[in-house]
Amino acid sequence: MKKFSSILISGLLIIGLFGGCSGDGSSDEPAVDVTVRGSYNVGQQSTTITYQPKGIDEERSLRLVIWYPTNETDGVEPLWGDALLDVAPIAEGDFPVLVYSHGTSSFAECAYDLAEYYASHGFVVASADHSGDTTANRNDPRTTEMYVQRPQDISAVIDYIYDLPADNPLAGRLTEDLALAGHSFGGWNVFSAVGGSFSEEELAKCDGTLESSLCTNMTPEREAILREGFRDERVKVLLPMAPGNAQLLGPAGVANITIPVLHMTATLDGNCPNDTQGDPYWSYITNKDSIRVNYDKGGHHSYILTCEITPMVGDENGGGCGDEFTDYKTLLQATNIYALAFTRLHLFGDENMRPILNGETSTFEDVTLSYK
């Protein structure tokens, strides 16, 4: 474990933080500086996708937002962020992919800062509204269906973006380099989507003795689906942020995950506390390339735009918006940098990212890095 406390310069420590090279990180390619926004402007498009989840009677529709690199400079901006709506992508090249899963009562653009950051560095980013669990449309209390649907939403999004309609200018231009990120319930969701199977002990409680949202509408078919779990083999890097529901997966469930994990947590998180969520998840992760980034003065929403969009939510239960927390803009940037560096290392083999992830060249104030 390494603990750092350094001087902030305009919210960001800049001490030789140049991240190295593009592509595979070979020395004959231009250096990539992941500590600043990339060289591309960002385009944004949206659509609605429909698919049939296993264990659910009705088809499911998801609003999907996609960000991508562009060289266009003029256009209409969306409600959230600085992207340009429906402009042409850059003319040449193929794009690696980040898929993002939002938390309970949130929405696709809640992490637009992360999405735009990745897109400015040449990624296509896709984030869906998880219908029935969004700001505008939430089934409360949560029911069994959400545990069954949510991981399948991720695979449905991946299916769609890799088979875009022929008239979409991004069609056929996505590489197999795929990372997956999620926050809060979306953090649990991404663990589940890549192989985090449900705990047999937790499923056994659905015999009528446990009052739990997991058991609300349980059927033999749904139990079989959850027992089998979900594993989308296309995902190569996992980026959970403040994940919850560690007890639903347990040590054996999380141990099924074989890809590198950047596990992001916060000491002052009152929603998914370290003692019941962050620490157990970290102890369950077995992949030896995994890293934990803990914000010592961060809260539950320190990774997304809650403090800007709905600050009253971020002021509650260790949310991350009050004076006792590190400034949210600083931690948004920290999230961008650590996530992108980890993604580049494990998607492209870019060894020039290691000094950032090892804390050798620079870091942010009050961040603790841990290693397997």
Domains of the chain with bracketed CATH:
2-371 (3.40.50.1820)
pLDDT class for 30, splitting at 50, 70, 90? low
Residue 143 binned pLDDT confidence (cut-offs 50, 70, 90) = confident
Inter-residue contact 80 to 72 (CB < 8 Å): no
Residue 361 pLDDT: 81
User: What mean pLDDT comes out for the span 132-137?
Assistant: 81
Q: What gap in Å lies between CA 343 and CA 173, rounded to an integer?
A: 19
DSSP letter for 366, please: T
pLDDT in tens, 176-188: 999 999 999 999 9
Tell me how far the alpha carbon of residue 217 is from its chain's centroid.
28
User: Looking at this protein, which amino acid is placed at residue 322?
Assistant: G
Encode pLDDT of 82-113 as tens digits. 999 999 999 889 999 999 999 998 988 999 99
Q: Which residue(s) pair with 42 in the sheet?
A: 69
Both tokens assigned to 241: 């942020």
pLDDT of residue 178: 98
* pTM across the whole model: 0.91
**Where do we find the tokens 């402009």?**
87
For the record, the structure tokens of 362 come out as 């620079």
**Strand intervals (E) in 52-123:** 60-70, 84-85, 95-101
